[in-house]
Structure formats: C-alpha cells, structure tokens
C-alpha cells in the first residue's frame, strides 16, 4: 500500500512537471509551430552554400575578342555559365601547374577570348582554397591576394586551359595552366555562344588599356551604338502612407527580428521609431533606414570569416523585405568583429548610395551587417525596394569619350555608369532615380 | 685556318639567331614609332579579317586637334565617310558601319600639315550565316552535333 502510494505520488509529480513545461512553452511561445526563430542555425548545406557565395564575383565579364566585352552583374549565383567556370577553376587548381608570376600586361591578357571574374575587394588565397576545398598549396604558396580571376581557353592547342589570378594593386599576374582538359572545349563553346547571341546594337564594354587611355588600372567603359543610350528609370518604393498603415507595414518588417513579437516595447522619438525587447533594439529612422542591434551576450566560440559570412547571409536571406538583388561589395574587420557590405543591382547596373553625401546613419552601402563570433550583432539597411519603371525611359547623352574629354584624365581612376547616387536625406519615394556617370578620382582612392 | 673558319661560322650563326627576333620585333614596332602622328589601338586587325559585326569601333591615340577621317568603301562601290577631331584626352573613337561584303577602310589623320593613313579590309558575312551557326544548321569545325 505504502509502495503504491509512493509510486502514485511519483507518477503524479512527473505528470505535473510535464504539464507545467508544456504550459510554459505555450505561454511564452504562442503558436510555436510557426514561430520565426530568427537565430536558428542553418543546415550544413546552407552554410556551405552561403560560404560559396563569398566567391561570387560582383560581375562576370566575357571577353568576346576584338575589344568587345559583355558584362553581367545580375543573377550570377548558381548561373549555369558560372558553374562551368567554377568547375574549370577547380580543375586547374587541383590538377594544373604553376607557370609563373609576371607584371600585368593587359594588352596581352585581353587579346584572347576569356571569362573574367571581377571582384570589388581583394580575396585572400587561403579563403579561396577553403571554398574550393583544395588541400594542396599550389595556389597559397604563390598567390597572396587577388581581385580578378581570368579563365582563358586555348584556341590553337585544343585542350590547354589557362587560369590567371590578378592583383591589380601589386600589378601581379599569377599564371596557372592545365595541359589537357575536356573543359577547354566547354569554355570555348560558352564564349562562342555568347558571341553568336551578341548584338552590338546593345550596350557592351571596351577596355581602357586596349584603346590607350592612361588610367592606372584597366577600366571597362560602357559603349553603345549612336550618341544616346536609353534606359529605364527606377523608383524607391515603400507601400505605405504616413498613418497607421505605415506603422503596421513597418511593424511587420520589424517583428521578424524579435524572439516573441507579442513582447515588443515601442516608442517614437524625434528622428526614429524604436522597438525593443530585453536583447534587441530596432530603430526605424525618418530617412527610411532600419537599424537592428543585438545586445545579447555572444558566445566565446571563435569563428573565421567564412563562418561569419555564412551567418550574415543566413540573416539577410530571412529578411523578406530585401527584394532587390544584392552583391558583396566588401568587408572590414575590427576588434574581432567583421562587417560585410552589400549593394544592390538593378537592370544590370549598380545602385550607388550617396558615396559623396553624408546621412545621419553614415550608411554607405544598401546593407551593412556586423558579425561577432558567428552572431549578427548589428544590421543596417535602407528600407526601400527599388523598382525599374518600364514606362519611364530616359537617355544618357554623353559617351565615355565626351566625359573623358571634359576631364583632366590624369586624375581619373575609374568611370562607370551607376544608378544614383542615392541621397537618403531626400524624398526618394516621389522622385525617379537616373543612371549617371560616376567618376572616381585618384585622390578618393 | 679551319679553326678560324669554324669560329667565324659559329659567331655568324649566333648573330643570325639573335638577330631574327630583333628584326621581327622591329617590323611589328614600326606601327608605333615616334614618326606616327596617330596609332590605331583597336578596331583594325593587322591582316584582313572576317566578322559578323554590324559596327566596328575604331579607337586610337593622337594629339589634341588632329583630324581623323575614315572612309569605308563597300565592294568598290558605295562610300561612307566619318570625321572626328581628337579632344583633350588624346584618344579618338569612331563607330563605322560595316556592310555585308568587303569593307575597304581607309583611316587618314591630319595634324597641322602632316597627313598619314592606314588601309585595311574587313569582310562582313551575312547575318543568315550567324543565325545558321546559332541554330546548329551550320556547324563549325570543333562543334558537336546531335546525331538523329
């Protein structure tokens, strides 16, 4: 009897404990099946996928020969041609041989048809071999950093494939080659397909080095038939009105940052709306910039740059309000924290964010995200979605030659066409953004 | 005596071997000597070429104020003319229209009273040929085709 009573008590106690745990879960995590766990870790496949995106160039350049280049900024990740190029690069890095290191001779390099990966920042060769999973030191023993990779299939010898790593700052070209590769034919074929589809009535690019311009580095200049280039204007869009709908819309864009959207404290200050819980603060500024900060104590686990990048990408990809295509335009490291900078691509042009103008958030890129030990601790972005307007056509009246004839070209580092620059202190919603010539002078570098 | 002849032959051979690449380079370098008032940097190949291009951009360098005139004579019949004055950059760029057939191009530069010119021929193929290559109706050496 006593035994049975004791057992019954134990069973009752265990039952009550289980029920209380369930009730606590239900109380704190209402609708837990659909709960948005913003901090949940990605699967191993996602991590590898995100890490590989670190090496997605900001533009893929196809050298069609005859000083004609096709440049593609858009939809590069998981692009069919890019996958073939990646496979070829992997092949050369794994089975090729090091030929030598020379100074860059652009006239020689650009004489041959090729594919060019152009990066907007310098990549450490250690990171490159990690992503390409190469165990040998064929690359790291010779190459320190690079900002371009060039893949040149051989025309005369049917099966030789050449890979160049270019470091423009150091004026170095590291040459690798594989003597026999089935991929040589595939690469040649892809370039030929692009050439066959190429229409010189559309926008294409020419090399400043080939035409003899005295720029320090090679610049790809946009070229079009005739004197004028037609393009679509873009507009910054937020579907809200300055009333309760605005707060509802913004609120829905903010709730994803919190562990429980039912427990967010909110207030309005002069320049921003503020939303917070015990760990997270989100501010929505009057100039439509959103800033997220996580004050929760981060772990002591040390992470490398690829792991931090993977965390950053995982975080951004969960933000459903990011609808424009974006690319990694650079990163910086300070005090154990890495900040990644991303910019937008629209209509195959870069959107430039007020590089010359100051704004209250000091935001220089469309998205900036800071990661510490694999945890995003700061995330700042512009809240707009930029849309191309099919019925708003404008023209560029000046060609690259008009521009450089107006300048003292000895001071110029780079000229290109960009949307913007965007000034966040202006009302972008009621204004159209145009394509403009962006001139980068040497003193700004 | 024989030794002297052999030594002479050896020295002569070395001289010839070393001299050939120098002479070859000199031939290629003749286009960019200081005597030229202009240089073509792209758009014109060293030899006659074949293309599908509708337009050809001819770029080059010359002193500011140099007048560049380009004449395209098609099949010795039609003629089209282009003219540009080189600006402060010292670079010129002219788009010339190519016609199907043989485009005989003459580029003339005039600086003060000095004139120089270059001639070249570009053969443009019919766009139908390009479309046939694109649709695999016409197969170039090295292409793969689907056997049915």
ipTM of the prediction: 0.74
Q: Are the CB atoms for A309 and A360 separated by under 8 Å?
A: no
Residue A285 backbone phi and psi in degrees, to 5:
-85, 160
Q: Does B36 touch chain A (CB under 8 A)?
A: no
What would the 3-class secondary structure string for A60-98 be?
A: EEEEEECCEEEEECCCCCCCHHHHHHHHHHHHHHHHCEE
pLDDT at B13: 60
Which of B39, B46, B57, B96 is most worth mutating to test chain A (most A CB atoms within 10 A of its CB)? B57
Averaged in consecutive runs of 10 residues, what is the pLDDT profile of chain A (445 residues)?
A: 74 89 70 43 65 91 93 84 92 91 96 94 93 85 96 79 96 93 86 82 90 90 89 82 54 75 81 87 87 84 91 91 92 95 95 68 89 94 91 94 85 89 78 91 63
A46 CB contacts (<8 Å, ≥6 apart)? A310, A314
User: Residue holding tokens 């560029």?
Assistant: A396
With contacts defined as CB-CB under 8 Å, which chain A residues touch B55?
200-201, 225
For residues B115 and B62, what is the distance between their CA atoms, to the nearest angstrom? 12
DSSP state at residue A208:
H
Helix (H, G, I), strand (E, B) or coil at B134: helix
pLDDT at A29: 57
Q: Does B59 touch chain A (CB under 8 A)?
A: yes
Which of A108, A223, A398, A401 is most worth mutating to test chain B (most B CB atoms within 10 A of its CB)? A401
Q: Are the CB atoms for A407 and A367 separated by under 8 Å?
A: no
For residues B111 and A224, what is the distance between their CA atoms, to the nearest angstrom? 28
For residues A253 and A247, what is the distance between their CA atoms, to the nearest angstrom? 10
Q: Does A210 touch chain B (CB under 8 A)?
A: yes
Q: Cβ of A210 and B41 within 8 Å? A: yes
Q: Are the CB atoms for A436 and A418 separated by under 8 Å?
A: yes
Q: Cβ of A225 and B55 within 8 Å? A: yes
Instruction: To the nearest 10°, report the CA torsion of A321, A326, A330, A334.
Output: 10
Q: Cβ of A405 and B93 within 8 Å? A: no
For residues B120 and B46, what is the distance between their CA atoms, to the nearest angstrom? 8
Of B42, B53, B92, the CB nearest to A200: B53
For residues A421 and A262, what is the distance between their CA atoms, to the nearest angstrom? 39
Nearest alpha-carbon partner for B38 in B63, B71, B58: B63
* CA nearest to A198 within chain B: B53
A86 CB contacts (<8 Å, ≥6 apart)? none
Mean pLDDT of chain B: 76
Helix (H, G, I), strand (E, B) or coil at B71: strand
How many CB atoms are closer than 10 A to CB A355? 14
Strand locations in chain B (E): 38-42, 49-51, 55-62, 67-74, 78-85, 91-97, 101-111, 114-124
A306 CB contacts (<8 Å, ≥6 apart)? A51, A54, A127, A130, A131
**Cis? peptide before A363, omega within 30° of 0:** no
Q: Are the CB atoms for A145 and A124 separated by under 8 Å?
A: yes
A37: left (phi over 0), alpha (psi -120 to 50) or beta: beta
Flag whether pLDDT at B26 surpasses 60: no
Give the number of beta-carbon pairs within 8 Å between A and B: 62
For residues A83 and A95, what is the distance between their CA atoms, to the nearest angstrom? 18
Mark A98-119 as b/e (b = at least 16 C-beta within 10 Å).
eeeeeebebeebbeebbbbbbb
Which of A63, A184, A203, A212 is most worth mutating to test chain B (most B CB atoms within 10 A of its CB)? A212
pLDDT at B16: 57
Q: Does A391 touch chain B (CB under 8 A)?
A: no
State the first-to-last Cα distance of chain B, in angstroms, to the nearest integer: 75
Q: Cβ of A210 and B60 within 8 Å? A: no
Which of B89, B90, B98, B140 is most worth mutating to test chain A (most A CB atoms within 10 A of its CB)? B89
Q: Are the CB atoms for A258 and A276 separated by under 8 Å?
A: no
Helix (H, G, I), strand (E, B) or coil at A170: coil
Q: Cβ of A401 and B41 within 8 Å? A: no
A51: left (phi over 0), alpha (psi -120 to 50) or beta: alpha
Of A210, A223, A405, the CB nearest to B89: A405
For residues A377 and B34, what is the distance between their CA atoms, to the nearest angstrom? 61
Give the DSSP H/E element, type plus range, for residue A314: helix A305-317
Query: Distance, in angstroms, between A207 CA and closest chain B CA?
Result: 10
With contacts defined as CB-CB under 8 Å, which chain A residues touch B130?
196
With contacts defined as CB-CB under 8 Å, which chain B residues touch A207?
42
Average pLDDT over residues B26-32: 32
How many CB atoms are closer than 10 A to CB A307? 18
Nearest alpha-carbon partner for A371 in A333, A329, A412: A333
Residue A38: both structure tokens together:
């913003």
For residues A119 and A149, what is the distance between their CA atoms, to the nearest angstrom? 9
Total number of residues shown for chain A = 445
Query: Distance, in angstroms, between A128 CA and closest chain B CA?
Result: 33
Tell me the pTM.
0.82
For residues A41 and A39, what is the distance between their CA atoms, to the nearest angstrom? 6
Q: Cβ of A158 and B142 within 8 Å? A: yes
Q: Are the CB atoms for A350 and A343 separated by under 8 Å?
A: yes
A25: left (phi over 0), alpha (psi -120 to 50) or beta: alpha
pLDDT at B146: 40
For residues A387 and A382, what is the distance between their CA atoms, to the nearest angstrom? 14
Of B54, B133, B143, the CB nearest to A200: B54
Q: Which of residues 111-130 of A touch B (CB under 8 A)?
A: none
Domain boundaries, chain B: 36-128
Of A158, A188, A213, the CB nearest to B91: A213
The CATH class of B36-128 is mainly beta
Q: Which of residues 106-135 of B touch A (CB under 8 A)?
A: 130, 133-134
A221 CB contacts (<8 Å, ≥6 apart)? A205, A206, A207, A208, A211, A400, A415
Q: Which of residues 405-444 of A touch B (CB under 8 A)?
A: 405, 407, 409
Domain boundaries, chain A: 52-223, 229-445
Helix (H, G, I), strand (E, B) or coil at A400: helix
Percent of chain B with pLDDT strictly greater than 70: 70
Q: What is the CA radius of gyration of chain B?
A: 23
Query: Distance, in angstroms, between B2 CA and closest chain A CA?
Result: 45
With contacts defined as CB-CB under 8 Å, which chain B residues touch A411?
none
| Whether domain A229-445 has CATH 3.40.50.720 | no
Q: Are the CB atoms for A401 and B91 separated by under 8 Å?
A: yes
Residue B21: both structure tokens together:
């690449």
Flag whether pLDDT at B33 surpasses 50: no
Residue A326 backbone phi and psi in degrees, to 5:
-135, 160
Q: Are the CB atoms for A61 and A220 separated by under 8 Å?
A: yes
pLDDT at A3: 55
Q: What digits encode the pLDDT tens for the residues B39-93?
A: 999 988 777 788 888 888 999 999 999 999 999 998 777 889 999 999 999 999 9
Half-sphere exposure of B30 (CA within 13 A, CB side): 8
């Amino acid at each position: 009897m006593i035994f049975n009573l004791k057992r019954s008590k134990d069973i009752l106690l265990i039952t009550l404990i289980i029920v209380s745990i369930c009730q606590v879960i239900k109380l704190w995590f209402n609708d837990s099946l659909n709960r948005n766990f913003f901090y949940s870790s990605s699967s191993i496949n996602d991590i590898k996928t995100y890490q590989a995106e670190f090496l997605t160039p900001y533009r893929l350049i196809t050298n069609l020969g005859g000083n004609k280049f096709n440049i593609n900024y858009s939809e590069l990740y998981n692009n069919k041609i890019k996958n073939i190029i990646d496979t070829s690069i992997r092949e050369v890095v794994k089975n090729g041989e090091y030929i030598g290191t020379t100074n860059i001779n652009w006239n020689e390099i650009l004489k041959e048809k090729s594919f060019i990966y152009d990066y907007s920042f310098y990549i450490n060769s250690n990171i490159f071999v990690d992503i390409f999973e190469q165990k040998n030191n064929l690359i790291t023993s010779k190459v320190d950093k690079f900002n371009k990779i060039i893949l040149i299939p051989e025309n005369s010898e049917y099966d030789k494939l050449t890979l160049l790593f270019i470091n423009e700052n150091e004026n170095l070209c590291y040459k690798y080659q594989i003597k026999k590769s089935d991929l040589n034919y595939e690469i040649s074929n892809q370039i030929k397909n692009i050439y066959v589809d190429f229409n010189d009535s559309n926008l294409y690019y020419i090399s400043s080095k080939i035409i003899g311009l005295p720029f320090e580095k090679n610049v790809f200049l946009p070229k079009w038939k005739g004197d004028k280039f037609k393009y679509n204007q873009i507009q910054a869009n937020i579907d809200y009105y300055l009333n309760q709908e605005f707060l509802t819309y913004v609120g829905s864009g903010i709730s994803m940052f919190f562990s429980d959207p039912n427990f967010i404290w909110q207030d309005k200050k002069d320049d921003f709306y503020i939303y917070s819980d015990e760990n997270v603060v989100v501010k929505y500024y009057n100039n439509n910039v959103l800033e997220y900060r996580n004050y929760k104590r981060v772990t002591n686990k040390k992470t490398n740059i690829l792991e931090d990048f993977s965390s950053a990408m995982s975080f951004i990809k969960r933000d459903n309000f990011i609808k424009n295509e974006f690319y990694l335009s650079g990163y910086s490291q300070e005090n154990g924290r890495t900040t990644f900078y991303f910019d937008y691509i629209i209509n195959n042009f870069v959107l430039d964010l007020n590089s010359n103008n100051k704004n209250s958030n000091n935001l220089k890129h469309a998205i900036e995200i800071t990661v510490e030990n694999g945890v995003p601790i700061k995330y700042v972005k512009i809240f707009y979605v930029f849309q191309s307007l099919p019925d708003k056509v404008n023209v560029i009246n000046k060609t690259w030659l008009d521009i450089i004839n107006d300048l003292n070209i000895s001071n110029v580092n780079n000229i290109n066409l960009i949307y913007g620059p965007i000034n966040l202190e202006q009302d972008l919603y009621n204004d159209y953004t145009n394509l403009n010539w962006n001139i980068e002078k040497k003193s700004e570098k | 005596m024989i030794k002297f002849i052999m030594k002479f032959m050896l020295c002569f051979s070395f001289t010839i071997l070393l001299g050939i690449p120098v002479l070859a380079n000199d031939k290629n370098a003749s286009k960019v000597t200081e005597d030229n008032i202009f240089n073509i940097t792209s758009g014109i190949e060293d030899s006659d070429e074949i293309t599908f291009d509708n337009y050809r951009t001819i770029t080059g360098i010359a002193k500011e104020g140099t007048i560049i005139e380009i004449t395209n004579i098609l099949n010795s019949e039609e003629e089209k003319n282009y003219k540009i004055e080189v600006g402060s950059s010292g670079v010129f760029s002219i788009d010339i229209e190519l016609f199907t057939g043989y485009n005989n191009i003459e580029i003339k530069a005039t600086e003060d009273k000095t004139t120089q010119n270059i001639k070249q021929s570009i053969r443009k193929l019919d766009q139908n040929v390009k479309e046939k290559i694109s649709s695999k109706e016409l197969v170039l050496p090295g292409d793969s085709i689907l056997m049915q």
